[in-house]
């Protein structure tokens, strides 16, 4: 990634949620474009984006609520409990027993029928 792009993203004052809303709006315009002129207009719409004008009705209320919400603070010191059903957290014997009893494993033992 170029330094210019990293700097632009790092020092941007635009709310990332507004950027997501803009990208969703441009995507929907591009998806619905039927002609080349509509496609060019859809791509140009990203540079002049206004959240209030872009979305209306129930979708507008949802997008505005999404942009206005502050993210839930994450406690980085909180321990995440391990998922004991995940293969990397199982005891070796339990893991081998589960894998050997899978239908996809049996052709390796008895040969393909």
Helix (H, G, I), strand (E, B) or coil at 6: helix
Looking at the whole model, is its pTM more than 0.75?
no
pLDDT tens digit sequence for 22-42: 887 788 888 888 999 988 888
Average pLDDT over residues 10-30: 76
Are 46 and 33 in contact by the 8 Å Cβ rule? The answer is no
Distances in whole angstroms, Cα of residue 48 to Cα of each of 3, 22, 54, 79, 101: 25, 10, 10, 43, 58
pLDDT tens digit sequence for 68-82: 766 666 677 778 788
């Amino acid at each position: 990634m170029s330094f210019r792009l990293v700097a632009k993203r790092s020092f941007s004052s635009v709310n990332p949620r507004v950027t997501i809303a803009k990208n969703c709006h441009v995507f929907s315009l591009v998806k619905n474009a039927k002609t080349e002129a509509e496609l060019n207009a859809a791509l140009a719409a990203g540079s002049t984006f206004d959240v209030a004008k872009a979305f209306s009705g129930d979708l507008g209320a949802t997008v505005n609520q999404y942009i206005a919400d502050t993210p839930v603070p994450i406690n980085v010191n909180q321990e995440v409990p391990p998922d004991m059903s995940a293969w990397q957290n199982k005891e070796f014997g339990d893991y081998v027993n589960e894998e050997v009893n899978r239908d996809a494993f049996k052709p390796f033992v008895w040969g393909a029928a």
